[in-house]
């Protein structure tokens, strides 16, 4: 009985090592618990604080950003932006090079045709604590007239800012100047169609992919230096009002957020995502569209070991009987 017991122990040991990815990495679904966050309209994975996501309300009583710890869903810091006017309709947030946070006050909640909108930029705080941070405010206009938008992205390599307008029949990717000017008007020009009623978008950490979501679906594009090429659909979860999206810090997941109190942020495999490193140095499974994760793969392996041990033990018993 020692050998089958040893086999079973080995199988259980393999199964016991099937530890899911740590929530500290920010790769797992979570729920935003802060009762102040009722209209989470943008989402960005922190560069400086693993497992933390920045978000904001669509409309708020002030120029606030919230740092939410994905392990608990609790807010661990509230940032008050200073140096900006009263926000109108804050719809998007992204983090660019040098850990700079960009906030898009680019929406049109009240059906007003604004002749300009605003983008704010501020450094991501090194410490997670309630504090005021001075931001730079940029005036933005579209070359082809006012429009509603909810998507702002910043290329992680070049730092160039892009917007996507929100139209039911599909919008356009708008490119800003190579460097935004805080003293003049920054004109954004359309460069490529986007085949979606876009509510948010995000660059992959390497800048090679652009993901765009809507209320009922999503698309991803190869970036190609800005000459975007449509590659496929995203597995967007059903949400009451799907407003936000970001890549996890390591690029393995797309995190989808929604408005509402205690709103859920759901993690889905990113298209063509790199496999996260295994705890024991071995390769782990993981696909772009709901493939088996590393924990499932290890559990499957443990089951296979157990079955093999049982088969060998049973065969030996039969041979003895013969």
The pLDDT tens digits of the residues spanning 159-169 come to 999 999 999 99
Low-confidence stretches of the chain (pLDDT < 70) are: 1-24, 109-112, 273-322
Q: Give me the pLDDT at residue 240, please.
A: 85
Provide Rg for the chain, Cα atoms. 23
At residue 83, the pLDDT reads: 96
Sheet with 117-123: list strands edge to edge: 92-96, 100-105, 117-123, 136-142, 185-194, 171-175, 161-165, 149-154
Q: Give me the residue label for tokens 């000017």.
A: 181
Q: Looking at residue 4, what is its pLDDT?
A: 36
Taking the model in full, what pTM does it have?
A: 0.79
Q: Give the per-residue pLDDT at 8.
A: 34
CA dihedral sign, ordered 65, 69, 75, 78: negative
| The predicted structure's pLDDT at residue 275 | 61
- Residues 234-268: b if buried by 16+ CB within 10 A, e if exposed: bbbbebebbbbbbbbbbbbbbbbbbbbeebbbbbb
Q: Tell me whether residue 167 is exposed, middle or buried, using C-beta atoms within 10 angstroms of its C-beta: 0 to 12, 13 to 18, 19 or more.
A: middle
Quote the tokens at residue 270: 């990113």
Structure confidence by residue, pLDDT tens digits, 124-173: 999 999 999 999 999 999 999 999 999 999 999 999 999 999 999 999 99
């Amino acid at each position: 009985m020692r050998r089958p017991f040893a086999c079973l122990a080995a199988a259980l040991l393999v199964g016991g090592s099937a530890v899911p990815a740590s929530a500290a990495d920010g790769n797992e679904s979570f729920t935003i618990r802060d009762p102040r966050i009722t209209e989470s309209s943008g989402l960005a994975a922190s560069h400086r604080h693993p497992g933390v996501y920045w978000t904001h309300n669509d409309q708020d009583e002030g120029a606030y950003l919230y740092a939410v710890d994905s392990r608990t869903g609790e807010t661990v810091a509230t940032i008050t932006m200073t140096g900006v006017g009263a926000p109108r309709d804050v719809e998007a947030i992204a983090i660019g090079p040098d850990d700079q946070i960009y906030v898009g006050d680019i929406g049109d909640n009240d059906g007003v045709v604004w002749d300009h909108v605003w983008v704010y930029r501020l450094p991501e705080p090194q410490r997670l604590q309630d504090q005021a941070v001075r931001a730079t405010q940029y005036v933005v206009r579209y070359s082809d007239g006012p429009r509603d938008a909810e998507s702002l992205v910043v290329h992680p390599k070049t730092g160039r800012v892009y917007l996507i307008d929100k139209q039911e029949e599909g919008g356009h990717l708008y490119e800003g100047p190579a460097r935004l000017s805080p003293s003049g008007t920054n004109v954004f020009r359309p460069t490529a169609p986007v085949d979606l009623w876009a509510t948010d978008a995000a660059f992959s950490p390497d800048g090679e992919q652009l993901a765009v979501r809507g209320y009922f679906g999503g698309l991803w594009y190869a970036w190609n230096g800005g000459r975007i090429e449509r590659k496929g659909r995203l597995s967007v979860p059903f949400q009451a009002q799907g407003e936000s999206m970001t890549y996890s810090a390591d690029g393995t997941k797309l995190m989808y957020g929604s408005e509402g109190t205690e709103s859920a942020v759901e993690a889905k495999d990113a298209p063509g995502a790199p496999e996260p490193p295994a705890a024991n140095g071995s390769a782990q499974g993981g696909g772009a569209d709901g493939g088996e994760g590393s924990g499932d793969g290890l559990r499957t392996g443990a089951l296979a070991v157990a079955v093999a041990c049982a088969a060998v033990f049973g065969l030996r018993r039969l041979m003895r009987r013969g």
